[in-house]
Amino acid sequence: MLSILLADDEPMIRMTVSDALRARGHFVMAVSDGMQALAALDNRVFDLVISDIRLPKTDGLTIMRRARETATSTAVVLITAYGSVSDAVGAIKEGAYDYITKPFEVQDLLIRVDRIAERRDLRAQLDAARAALAARGSGELLVGRTPAMVRLQERIDATADSHAPVLVTGESGTGKELVARTIHDRSPRRDKPFVAINCAAFPETLIEAELFGHERGAFTGAVGRRDGRFKMADGGTLLLDELGELPLPAQAKLLRVLQDGSFQPIGTNTTVRVDVRIVSTTNRNLKNEVASGRFREDLYYRINVVEVVIPPLRERRGDVALLSEHFVRRFHNGPGEPPAISPAARAALSRYDFPGNLRELMHAIEHALVFSRGREVGLHDLPPSIIGQADASHAGPGGPRPLAVAIAEFEREYLLATLEATEGKRTRAAELLGISRKNLWEKLRQHGIPDTAPVPSPSPPADGGLKTG
């Protein structure tokens, strides 16, 4: 729900717009002249100001400037006659969120207000995620509010308190190393070393030396003594990244270390004992690797005491919007607030399958920020693969869809994503969307989404499903 100040000297506009906004669940204070608007701004902070540019006593531009002085988070939408569009464009440059020209459809204004509410909700979710991060003391974010991510977070928390070996599995780019690091950061070993080794990065002749260390002269090129990763991780956690790539001879030696906690560095008969928790990651199906003889069965059961499975991004599409906002903030290096993501770009991102998962989304946002040059991220700022899928989905036998249909498609998909994130809880979904329960029911009916049935797959209705007017 937004707190909204509406300033317009036409009674019919005030009444119609106020009623429509209140039906959406927003708080509305309506005034008829500029001085009343300034007085209201002196008494409270509003989330949104909707003001006619031409008002008695004080103009809308003055109201906009006062609102921005009071709180930079306040969004301003200006109402202007056709002949004053240049004034509105100038106001946009000063910081107004948007403008709308008279005469206008109330539904058009409501769509803009919905976008503002959506942006504020995403910002609130990001702030909550940052607060949770600070409380945990972790250096990275596991961003997501979908049921799949909630379950993953709960599994990580349950796993972190244990000392048992953990196998983290998932497709390439899902963030397996981040999950492994998070398990360490939330564990009793958090103040001890976290050491990682990529098992695919070393040839078979060197991987054992990297794991267990070596003495000087133990093999060609061993010009000095060196501790291995096990010794470096003593007391802490050792991440065996891409464990499925480990050669069979090294698997046998790894198994002995896991059995008795000791090993002998190459070139010495000295036994070294260590206390190390093993966290392994792989994008391979290790059961299939065992069946094919490429991975030891006894080692598989040693390292897979607890398995943490990371879902691919296509199975948690409801997190794409939040992740996109997170990456925009992460890569934004200019002055002021990071740019917004346009509805068209947001819809394209939510529809895309992301075979490269989080890594691909992160690179897509970084790519988009380069081409948007600090402006709102539009559809055509995204990488060609995402644009191509969006163009294919929007184009029909008669060419591009009408704007109202495209907007309707985005709204329907966003409703479905929110319902997925709340596991179908309509009351919670209405709260997140900033609308009333009744208004949510009306939107679900308009888009052909059953109010009580399970959430359907996000395929748009043939007519776009949105009634305008």
Q: Does some domain include residue 392?
A: no
Report if residue 259 sits inside a domain: yes
Per-residue tokens: 235 = 């007391």
| Distance separating alpha carbons of residues 344 and 338, to the nearest angstrom | 18
Q: What is the number of domains present in the chain? A: 2
SS3 98: strand
The mean per-residue pLDDT over the stretch 324-328 comes to 89
Give a yes or no: residue 398 inside a domain. no
Q: In terms of residue numbers, what domain contains 41?
A: 3-103
Confidence of residue 310 (pLDDT cuts 50, 70, 90): very high
User: Between residues 122 and 143, which one has the greater pLDDT?
Assistant: 143
The answer to whether position 380 is within a domain reads no
Shared domain for 181 and 275, answered yes or no, is yes
d(CA 453, CA 419): 11
Beta strand spans in 283-345 (E): 306-309
Look at residue 307 and give its three-state secondary structure.
strand
Q: pLDDT tens digits, residue range 154-211?
A: 999 999 988 999 999 999 999 999 999 999 999 999 999 999 999 988 887 788 888 8
Residue type, 20: A
Q: How many CB atoms lie within 10 A of CB 358?
A: 22
Q: Does position 261 have pLDDT exceeding 80, yes or no?
A: yes
With a cut of 50, say whether residue 317 has pLDDT above it. Answer: yes
CA 214 to chain centre: 44
The enclosing domain of 35 has a CATH number of 3.40.50.2300
Do both 85 and 179 map to the same domain? Answer: no
CA 25 remoteness from chain centre: 26
The answer to whether position 97 is within a domain reads: yes
Give the percent of the chain with pLDDT over 70.
Answer: 83
Do residue 172 and residue 261 come from a single domain?
A: yes
Q: Is the predicted pLDDT of residue 110 greater than 80, yes or no?
A: yes
Q: What is the pLDDT of residues 71-96, one digit of tens each?
A: 778 899 988 876 566 666 777 777 78
State the Cα torsion 85-377-48-59 to the nearest 10°.
Answer: -20
pTM of the predicted structure, to 2 decimals: 0.58
Report DSSP letters for 215-280, one per residue.
Answer: -TTSSTT--S-B--HHHHTTTSEEEEETGGG--HHHHHHHHHHHHHSEE--BT----EE---EEEE
Q: Quick one: CA dihedral 361, 136, 340, 469, positive or negative?
A: positive
pLDDT digits (tens, 9 = 90+) for 335-369: 778 888 888 888 889 889 999 999 999 999 999 99
What pLDDT was estimated at residue 166?
Answer: 96
Residue 6: the pLDDT is 95
C-alpha separations of 197 from 184, 211, 277, 280 in Å = 15, 8, 14, 10
| 305 and 171 within one domain | yes
Residue 424 lies in a domain: no
Cβ-Cβ contacts under 8 Å for 123 (sequence gap 6 or more)? 325
Which CATH number do you get for residue 284? Answer: 3.40.50.300
pLDDT digits (tens, 9 = 90+) for 418-451: 888 888 888 888 888 888 887 788 777 666 676 5
**What pLDDT does residue 5 have?**
95
What mean pLDDT comes out for the span 9-35?
92
- Tell me which residue of 273, 280, 290 sits closest to 242, measured CA to CA: 280
